[in-house]
Amino acid sequence: MTDEQPIVFIVEDDEAVRDSLVAMVSAAGVTVESFASAEEFLAAFDRDQLGCLVSDVRMEGLTGTQLQKRLLDEGVSLPVILISGYADVPTAVDAMKIGAISFLEKPCTRQELWATISKAIATHREQRKQDAAVAEIREWFTQLTQSEREVMARLVAGQANKVIAAELEMGLRTVELRRATILKKMNADSLAELVRQSILLDQFKQEHQGISSLPPDAGAGR
């Protein structure tokens, strides 16, 4: 996955400006796909692609800021770089309020553009790596039985085995066995690792409104 090639998507309604951006990005040796409108882009782009979006702000139809919002609504993590024609502060402020975004003012140097693009791509790569890791943890988590999940919730909340045994009315030995199974199923070699995974998992569940598999009082030790 690390050697996946990024693509820079360019959305710009002025043909000359669009072609000139394609030239500038392709001169840096990066693959480019360009679109004349936000609508065209939304209809055609590969949502799993690594890369970033470079878009004009003022366009007929959906504007750059509206496009950014649409991506966010769709849950697409593609980073957005908006290029505005003139000091368009209110638009910039609006865009920054709704999400991670970079702003460039026309005309920009290739160094600026390139620095912004490579930073965006690096962020995206990082983001996708994390997304993949979370997906894996989630996958492992689904392998746990209901009883194992209850034990895990108490383990990561910092309860001692004894306390867990008492709360769940099971033998201490059983708790220890469960603990070993959980660490194995979750590919964790320590409790610390399991805690880290649970944090990612929680985030994951929040973001995707996942099944509330942890009991409501999880972690609330007596």
Partner 1 sequence: MTGMSPLSKWATMSLSGAVSIMPHAGPRDTAQHETGISDTRAETRRLRKILRAACEEAQQAREAEAWLRSLLDHVPVTIVTLDRDGTILSINRTLSGQPVDNVVGTCCLDYVSEAIREDCRQAIKEAFESGHSRRYECGKADPSGRLWEAVFTPVPIQGTVSVGVVIMQDVTERKRAEEEARDRAVESAHVHRVNMMGEMVAELAHEIGQPLYAISNFAQAGVQVLRSGQEGRGADLLAWLERISEQATRAGDIIRRLGNLMRKGQPDRVPVDLNRLIPNVIELTRPRARSEQIEITFHPTDVLPEVVVDPVQIEQVIVNLVQNAIEAMVTSQATTRQIDVSTSCLDGHQVEVAVHDTAGTLPDDLDMLFEAFYTTKPRGMGMGLAICRSIVEGHGGQIEAVRDTEGGTTLRFRLPALPGEDS
Q: How far is the CB of 3 from partner 1 (least distance, A)?
A: 21
In this structure, how many other beta carbons lie within 10 angstroms of the beta carbon of residue 20? 14
Q: How far apart are CA 9 and CA 46, in angstroms?
A: 10
Q: How far apart are CA 168 and CA 154, in angstroms?
A: 10
- Among 4, 23, 47, 217, which residue sits at the site for partner 1 (rule: CB under 8 A)? 23
Window of 13-21, 43-51, 145-153, 195-203 that interacts with partner 1 by CB under 8 A: 13-21
Q: How far is the CB of 40 from partner 1 (least distance, A)?
A: 18
The residues, any chain, with a CB within 8 Å of residue 25's CB and separated by 6 or more, are 8, 10, 32, 54, 113, 117
26 binds partner 1 (CB under 8 A): yes
208 binds partner 1 (CB under 8 A): no
Q: How far apart are CA 156 and CA 36, in angstroms?
A: 51
Q: How far is the CB of 63 from partner 1 (least distance, A)?
A: 11
For partner 1, which is the closer residue by CB, 16 or 211?
16
Q: How many residues bind partner 1 (CB under 8 A)?
A: 20
Site track for partner 1 across 53-92, x = CB under 8 A = -----x-x------------------------xx------
Q: Report the chain's C-alpha Rg in angstroms.
A: 23
- Among 1, 16, 89, 211, which residue sits at the site for partner 1 (rule: CB under 8 A)? 16
Q: How far apart are CA 78 and CA 33, in angstroms?
A: 14
Show the tokens assigned to 220. 């609330």
For partner 1, which is the closer residue by CB, 8 or 175?
8
Greatest alpha-carbon pair distance for the chain in Å reads: 74
Closest to 64 (Cα-Cα) out of 91, 90, 44: 91
**Stretch 141-180 residues interacting with partner 1 (CB under 8 A):** none
Residues that bind partner 1 (CB under 8 A): 14, 16-17, 19-21, 23-24, 26-29, 58, 60, 85-86, 106-107, 109-110
